[in-house]
Amino acid sequence: MALEQLLKKKKEVLLFYCVESEALARKVAHLSDSIKLQSINWRSFDDGFPNLFINNAQDIRGQHVAFLASFSSPSVIFEQLSIIFALPRLFVASFTLVLPFFPTGSFERMEEEGDVATAFTMARILSNIPISRGGPTSLVIYDIHALQERFYFGDHVLPCFETGIPLLKQRLHQLPDTENISIAFPDDGAWKRFYKQLQHFPMIVCNKVREGDKRIVRLKEGNPAARHVVIVDDLVQSGGTLIECQKVLAAHGAMKVSAYVTHAVFPEQSWQRFLHNGEEKAFSHFWITDSCPLTVKAIENKAPFEVLSLAGSIADALQI
DSSP string, the chain: -HHHHHHHPPPPEEEEE-STTHHHHHHHHHH-TTEEE--EEEEE-TTS-EEEEETTGGGGTTSEEEEE----SHHHHHHHHHHHHHGGGS--SEEEEE-S--TTTT----SSTT---HHHHHHHHHTTSPPBTTBSEEEEEES-S-GGGGGGS-TTEEEEEE-SHHHHHHHHTTSTTGGGEEEEESSHHHHHHHGGGGTTS-EEEEEEEEETTEEEEEEEE---TTSEEEEEEEEESS-HHHHHHHHHHHHTT-SEEEEEEEEE--GGGGGGGGS-BTTB-S-S-EEEESSSHHHHHHTTT-TTEEEE--HHHHHHHTT-
Determine the pLDDT at residue 268: 95
pLDDT in tens, the chain (320 residues): 555 554 467 899 999 999 999 999 999 999 999 999 999 999 999 999 999 999 999 999 999 999 999 999 999 999 999 999 999 999 999 999 999 999 998 877 777 899 998 999 999 999 999 999 999 999 999 999 887 888 999 998 999 999 999 999 999 999 999 999 999 999 999 999 999 999 999 999 999 887 777 778 999 999 999 999 999 999 999 999 999 999 999 999 999 999 999 999 999 999 999 998 866 689 999 999 999 999 999 999 999 999 999 999 999 999 99
Determine the pLDDT at residue 99: 98
